[in-house]
A and B are shown apart, each in its own frame.
Chain A
């Protein structure tokens, strides 16, 4: 059996996959912004002086981290409507990605927050800064730069898991490739192209994360 790569077919589907890749990138970017914010909120809630808040947040984070993303995607899309929360597949998928990776990011932030020397808190108290100002101006700006590489890893990981959204028929790259394949009975070209798309974007985002890291290192006179 000989195999021939079909260039004509490739040319035909490339624009379609190109459009679908926009959906994938959208889901990645919005999902990650959501994850970064949710993660920070979780991490801060886990520092609350109120024990119930701390414990409840810890339980939620632990629960989300120990259940599969695919189940969470189904849950948000199919189960939440039972409770009157309805959303389209894309929104549900992004929300699930944000929650799932948010709980991972919260651990990253926690490590960053824990590493702030006690003296920084004490200086903030001695200057009579409010709790809000202390977090906003003193603690968070110092806690985040060291954890950017770890957050960047989750960005790439989240990106590579976006094909799971095909399970609820979001027309991202994977779902589009599956549809193309089933229409033409030619799976090789679409699936290979999707792989190449992912490779390309992974390399680009990894390079971007490294740039940001390098930039963070040179600020503040290198201190």
Chain B
């Protein structure tokens, strides 16, 4: 592996990854390389394994087989005596620090104000002082348009505002990779735009590798560098948005696209 040349390594690599729950194989021999700074949209029908891909990368689920790499370092595994063995907690924590995630249902800490939500991890994990963490969080909340809501609790915010706090909270850890799992699905239609705008600006202004599970085909088309279509635990087709949407090759893709585009 290219552990000694991290710059040459992909930001994320799924190598022969298999995931199953009991008899149900959710992901079957997944191979996927994602370049630094690349924006990847993950689409596909319900149950095709999209969320599972992100959750394994966030280490919320273990892989059954295969290895996930981050910048040339194994995430799910570690080296012992030159051999790859299952990673221990400490190793996982170290590599995981490069990854942040935004969830469909926000998962904000309801007992903390917006700014406290953002400050928690920088203080307890990175060892920032309160003042430093506050300043960092204030800047981020300002960036997502919530500079006037620092002291509001999640219960006092709209869905769109909550999701923007969640984005700021993840960014406060300065991750290199951001995962978004259907982050607008739980929102009222009129609030979707404000969240997508924040993500769009993020992509433009920061060096971030982004993996985004989405049902917003329009957004995937304009935002992503690459679209991956999952079907039954495999990548059935992938390509640039132009190729993927303009000239889909796979029959499943064609069916899926005509179904969702009709529904829109």
Contact = CB atoms under 8 A, between A and B. Distances in A.
Nearest to B120: A137
B169 interface: yes
B109 A223 contact: no
Contacts of B105: 119
Interface string B96-135: 1101110101111111000000001100110000000000
Contacts of A223: 110, 153-156
Given A119-B107, A123-B103, A128-B97, A220 B124 contact: no
A142 B60 contact: no
A192 interface: no
Interface in B143-195: 152-156, 169-170, 173
B153 A129 contact: no
Interface in B80-106: 93, 96-97, 99-101, 103, 105-106
B59 interface: yes
Interface string A184-223: 0000000000000000000000000000000000011111
B110 A133 contact: no
Contacts of A222: 155
A130 B111 CA distance: 19
Contacts of B93: 128, 130
B110 to A, nearest CB: 6
Interface string A102-142: 00000000000000010110110111111001000110011
A219 B156 CA distance: 11
B111 A141 contact: yes
A119 B156 CA distance: 19
Given A119-B103, A221-B153, A125 B124 contact: no
B107 A122 contact: yes
Contacts of A127: 100, 120-121, 125, 169-170, 173
A125 B109 CA distance: 13
Given A129-B120, A130-B124, A123 B109 contact: yes
B109 A120 contact: yes
B58 interface: yes
A221 B152 CA distance: 8
A184 to B, nearest CB: 56
B169 A221 contact: no
Interface string B56-85: 001110000000000000000000000000
A59 B59 CA distance: 33
Contacts of A126: 58, 60, 99-101, 103, 170
Interface of B: 58-60, 93, 96-97, 99-101, 103, 105-111, 120-121, 124-125, 152-156, 169-170, 173
Interface of A: 117, 119-120, 122-123, 125-130, 133, 137-138, 141-142, 219-223
17 contacts: A119-B105, A119-B106, A122-B103, A123-B107, A123-B109, A125-B60, A126-B103, A127-B120, A128-B125, A129-B120, A129-B124, A133-B120, A137-B124, A142-B111, A220-B155, A222-B155, A223-B155
Given A137-B124, A141-B111, 15 more contacts: A117-B107, A122-B58, A122-B60, A122-B103, A123-B108, A126-B101, A129-B121, A129-B124, A129-B125, A130-B124, A133-B125, A138-B120, A219-B111, A221-B155, A221-B156
